[in-house]
Structures are given as C-alpha cells and as structure tokens.
Amino acid sequence: MNQVFMFDALREATDEEMEKDKSVFVLGEDVGHYGGSYKVTKDLHVKYGDLRVLDTPIAENSFMGMAIGAAITGLRPIVEGMNMSFLLLAFNQISNNAGMLRYTSGGNFKIPIVIRGPGGVGRQLGAEHSQRLEAYFQSIPGIKIVACSTPYNAKGLLKAAIRDDNPVIFFEHVLLYNLKQKVPDHEYVLPLDKAELVREGTQVTLVTYSRMRHHVMQAVNQLLKDGYDPEVIDLISLKPLDIETVSQSLMKTHKMIIVEECMKTGGIAAEIIAQINDNYFDFLDAPIVRLSSQDIPTPYNGTLEKATVIHPHQIIDSVRTLVSS
C-alpha cells in the first residue's frame, strides 16, 4: 500500500492504461508540457510523446468533437476539461454525438471516451468556475456518470472508465486533489455502476457523493459520540444510479437524508427521491430530507460562497431532527 494524493492516483491510472493499451491517449488544454491544471498528466508527455498527450487550443467544442471522432475509429481518448464548467461549450457534442452515436448507428460504432476534470465549488473560483454539472448531464441517454471521492476509488474507477466502450463523464472535485489515502500496489478496477456502503448503521441512511462524503463523515464522527447510528452510502455512480443499494439501506433504517453539492432544483437528490417515491414509498417512516446547495450562482465572496453549500453542522442537525421525529 502506498500513500498517494488523489491527483497522483488519477495520474497512475492514466499512465497504467496508456502503457497497457496504445489506443489510449489524452487531450485537452495544457495537459502536455504543463502537466494539467492539477498535475494529473504531469510528465506523461515525456513518456508517451506529444501525439498521445495532446495539447489543444481553447476550443472545447472542437476538441470534444475530435475526441469523439477518434473514439469512433477505435481509439480511446481521455479528454481533460481544465474546469468541468467549460464542458457546457461542448454540450452539443457530448449529448448529440457521444451519447447517441452508438444507438443511432445501430451499434456499428462504439464511443469509448472518458471526459474528466475538476468541478464543484472550490475556494472563491467564482460562479462560472463553480458549476456542478452532474444534473445537467444526467438526463442524456447513452452516457455514464461517475463522481470519485477518494484516491482509492478515483484510481479504480478511472481505469474502469478508460476500458469501458461507452462515454463516461468522470467528475473529480477541485478540493479533493490533495486528499491522501493508501492505495494498493497491485492493479485493481472498480465497477462503474455500484454505490459504496461506507458505514453500516440502523437509524438513518445518509446518501451522498463526491466532496460531500467527507462532510457527511465529519458529521457522523460527532453523531456517534452523541449516540446516533447512521448508515452512509457514497453513490459514486450517478448514472446509472445504484438505487438497489440505496433502497436496501432504506428498508433497514426507514429514514433518509440526501446530501449533495448539486443545486436543489432538478439535482441528483431530486431523482433519487422520485425513484424512492415511485418504488419504495411504503418503507419510509418520514419524508426524505434533501440537503442541497442554494439555487443561486456561486458567489465569489468567501463568506457568501460558504453559505451556499452544506456543512457538517447542518447534517448533524438534520439527523437529530429526523431520528427524533
């Protein structure tokens, strides 16, 4: 086991897959000589050359289209978005081409493309650099969505995403790159469609993903001292949602809180609540609690920015209120 930062875990996954399969290549803004905005591709151009670690112009729609074309011809591109917010400029390519071409070609084309990069609310990055696009992309048919949350799952999930024959949007939180964790020396690959049961409990199910996993666990540490026994699920897969793992937990605890950094209106929590109400409503002893970000552009001001997202004390208060209800 090696102690590694999350950006190093992602770099190792990319390096190992590029070494194993010559059809794998990386493209994006500053991924080559600069090594990527968060150093996920650092020095890979030295090992693989400038054609397999390809610096592109600042033209997301153009290089996304190029990557999709490359995937159709049998290559396996990894597109790094310097910031996932900028993928809105390539939304048409991702939706109408990456998501649909395998279906509209009658299965003649595979689209093995990974679209990855930093997203989420950072520290005073401003509204246009603080987008959470997971809900934007969730309704697109033909696309898988993954949100890594630790160095361990980041490496195993990225390797699986690179090997998958379908387009995978791979969300990394901008504030988790310097998170450190022990990662196995041996090769491992994690499933792209499974949630992780982080902690077993009996009183309430806490469902979360990405950076909010760590806010939830901070809250859980305090709740345990206070005598509460929450169960924690990290969704990881946002499309398809692993509703089976979520529902099995609900059948045990009968109460649920969903904690997300996504906006409340039309967010991931909204979809989970809809599916639970459709199929597992009878197992609920109380309405599902939704803890989501404010429906406003993220302020640049640090104090206001902090007020827009969920923090551990809000999770603690919600658990206490729900369990006692």
User: Which residues are designated catalytic?
Assistant: 60, 129
- Across 94-203, the runs of DSSP E, i.e. the strands, are 114-119, 144-147, 168-173, 180-183, 196-199
Q: Which helix (H) or strand (E) holds 78?
A: strand 76-80
Nearest to 210 by CA among 148, 165, 254: 148
Structure tokens at 51: 């054609």
Name, in order, each residue with C-beta under 8 angstroms of 124's C-beta and a sequence gap of 6 or more. Answer: 300, 301, 302, 305
Nearest to 228 by CA among 205, 212, 209: 205
Structure tokens at 66: 């190029």
Q: Please state, in angstroms and rounded to a whole number, the distance separating the CA atoms of residues 20 and 16.
A: 6
Length of the chain: 325
Q: Please state, in angstroms and rounded to a whole number, the distance separating the CA atoms of residues 253 and 247.
A: 10
Nearest to 147 by CA among 128, 174, 178: 174
Q: Please state, in angstroms and rounded to a whole number, the distance separating the CA atoms of residues 198 and 213.
A: 9
Contact 48, 94 (CB under 8 A): no
Nearest to 110 by CA among 146, 149, 71, 147: 71
- Say how many Å lie between the first and final Cα of the chain, rounded: 44
Q: Please state, in angstroms and rounded to a whole number, the distance separating the CA atoms of residues 300 and 313.
A: 23
Q: Which helix (H) or strand (E) holds 22?
A: none
